[in-house]
Amino acid sequence: MTVTQTDPPTGPDYNQQETATKQRSSFFDISNLKGDVFGGLTAGIVALPLALAFGEASGAGPIAGLWGAIFVGFFAALFGGTETQVSGPTGPMVVVFAGVYASLQGEPALVFAIVVLAGVLQILLGVFRFGQYIRLVPYPVISGFMSGIGCIIIALQISRLFGHEPDGGGTIPALAAIPGAVMDPNLIAFGIGLLSLIIIFFWPSKLGKWIPSPLAALLAGTGLSLFFPGALPILGDIPTGFPNFILPGFSSDTALIVLEAAFILALLGAIDSLLTSLVADNMTRTRHNSDRELIGQGIGNTVAGFFGAIPGAGATMRTVVNIRTGGTTKISGMLHSAVLFVIVVAAAPLASQIPHAVLAGILIKVGYDIIDFAYISRGHKGPRWDLALMAIVLGLTVFVDLITAVGVGVTLAALAFVKRLADSQLQTIGDQETQIVTPQEDALIQASKGKITIFDFGGPLSFGAAADLGHQVRERVKLHTSAIILDFSKVPFLDVSAARAVETIGRDAKASGKTVYLSGISDDVNDVLVGLEVDDCLPDNTTFKTRLEAIQAAARELEIRPATA
């Protein structure tokens, strides 16, 4: 999914104040009450089949999915930073939670300790303002792991579509179970599941304004299954009433498992929510508060964990439905949860007749929508490395795990970016034609006949460029060059790698009988050079405020006079 964010026309300070004012007042703003009510009702109806399906897919049961939508949806709307966001269980979160639940089945205190801790971590991410950094994850990495999650969801549901349950949890067992399910299908379950898929994919958009396609598939598939009692797997009894409080707990033996799983859930939920926030911004021409959104999502997941509900995040489809049907404030997101609460209290027994195959059809469509077909179809027209990176992350997500996929993806993307940046910086440093900017400098350089060589650092030196800087200078300095001028006028700061590169240049110049002159060094850069004792390998009295002064000093030392003098 490609997100285009429209920047507000005013300055950043004004935007922050305006956004903060809007967030303080919008909860009490009932001027759009009719639109918020309709948006919340519609989003709640859309969320019902998805919450049931996600709950069943997670292993915790459909009721856990409903309560996850209620708790996360209500508290994320109340405390979050995106006015129109509707939150609840999402495909990516359910995939991770299902893996955790399968590996720790029978230990609810441990499973939901992970959910609570994930919520606390999200709150901390918001408090310490990490929202802006989470959004720096490169698009090919996001596309890869989101598409991978879509593939996982589809793989987990294909056997259920044919009326079978895959043995064991995880993607590999699910894939292994598909051939057997296809060869020995429950024809009634498959027929009803196929009907659900057809309804979801081809439901008329005009009817979708009144009855969302997932709800239509749920009603049609469940209604048809009533004519075949006992012929296909159904959800079965669903508990009613308020959920029991679960006291989280873990021991020293399980602390590492809990921390790792909680970190994955927190990070994934943060990325998922903030991506949906960008979609909401683009549709409403507003600007969300990413840190406050993380706090709201964290509170919602923390509460959900205490009551045995599955975790959630900002849900794109439900948010879009809310906006398109009139929702503009927090009231709509909170009302969405209220609608689900009424259904849980009053109509949960009716949901017991829903077939697994119907929910499988709904989730297959969810997985299909998550896969980034738009980028996959056009990726070969862009940088090939980005497409390869997306494929690597997708494969790792499906066959290894999400945290490995994201970690490897971000690392590879960062290394590739630094390599491209370093190549560009080194090329600029060696481009002598762009470095002579005044007639006086040009006259002196021409008169030197190659005895003076300038290296103009056009901006901050990345550690990638710094690592090869000494070698590049050594190659480009001619044998008869006597003076090397390093111009730092455009370098605002210097890290250790760059400082060591300057030290290498100084030592090489000293060994070959050349003099190094420095120009335009700021106080911050000078402090680094002095602190790391790099200045010890440089000649005394060869540092100047401007490049022209450095060139003139080198010319005097070499007794060079311009032809026009």
Q: Stretch 255-260: mean pLDDT, rounded?
A: 87
Q: Stretch 179-208: mean pLDDT, rounded?
A: 92
DSSP letter at 367 equals H
Helices (H) and strands (E) in the chain, counts: 24, 6
CA–CA distance, 18 with 527 (Å, rounded to integer): 40
Question: What is the pLDDT, as a whole number, of residue 137?
Answer: 80
DSSP 36-103: HHHHHHHHHHHHHHHHHHHHHHHSS-HHHHHHHHHHHHHHHHHH-S-TT--EE--HHHHHHHHHHHHH
Q: How confident is the model at residue 11 (pLDDT cuts 50, 70, 90)?
A: very low
Question: What is the pLDDT, as a whole number, of residue 68?
Answer: 96
pLDDT digits (tens, 9 = 90+) for 36-53: 888 898 888 888 888 988
Bridge partners of 355?
Answer: 234
CA–CA distance, 82 with 88 (Å, rounded to integer): 14
Q: Is the pLDDT of residue 259 over 70?
A: yes
Rank 65-79, 201-215, 256-270, 550-564 by mean pLDDT and report only the highest. Answer: 65-79
209 vs 306, residue with greater confidence: 306
Q: Stretch 354-374: mean pLDDT, rounded?
A: 89
- C-beta of residue 85 within 8 angstroms of C-beta of residue 333: yes
pTM for the model: 0.72
Question: What is the pLDDT, as a whole number, of residue 317?
Answer: 80
Rank 31-45, 315-329, 454-468, 518-532 by mean pLDDT and report only the highest. Answer: 518-532
- Distant-in-sequence, close-in-space partners of 68: CB < 8 Å, separation ≥ 6: 51, 54, 55, 88, 89, 304, 309, 310, 311, 312
For the four alpha carbons of 122, 124, 129 and 133, in that order, the dihedral sign comes to negative
pLDDT digits (tens, 9 = 90+) for 136-148: 788 898 889 888 8
Q: How confident is the model at residue 435 (pLDDT cuts 50, 70, 90)?
A: low
Candidate from 11-15, 197-201, 311-315, 370-374 with smallest mean pLDDT: 11-15
Token reading at 414: 């960062």
Bridge partners of 484?
Answer: 453, 516
CA–CA distance, 280 with 392 (Å, rounded to integer): 29
424 vs 220, residue with greater confidence: 220
DSSP letter at 245 equals P
**Could you tell me what percent of the chain has a pLDDT over 90?**
34
Average pLDDT, the chain: 85
Q: Stretch 350-366: mean pLDDT, rounded?
A: 87
pLDDT digits (tens, 9 = 90+) for 486-496: 999 888 888 88
Tally of CB atoms within 10 A around 245: 8
Helix (H, G, I), strand (E, B) or coil at 196: helix
Q: How far, rounded to the nearest angstrom, does the alpha carbon of residue 564 sit from its chain's CA centroid?
A: 60
Kindly report the backbone phi and psi dihedral angles of residue 346, in degrees, each rounded to the nearest multiple of 5, phi listed first.
-105, -25
29 vs 336, residue with greater confidence: 336
Q: Is the pLDDT of residue 301 over 80?
A: yes
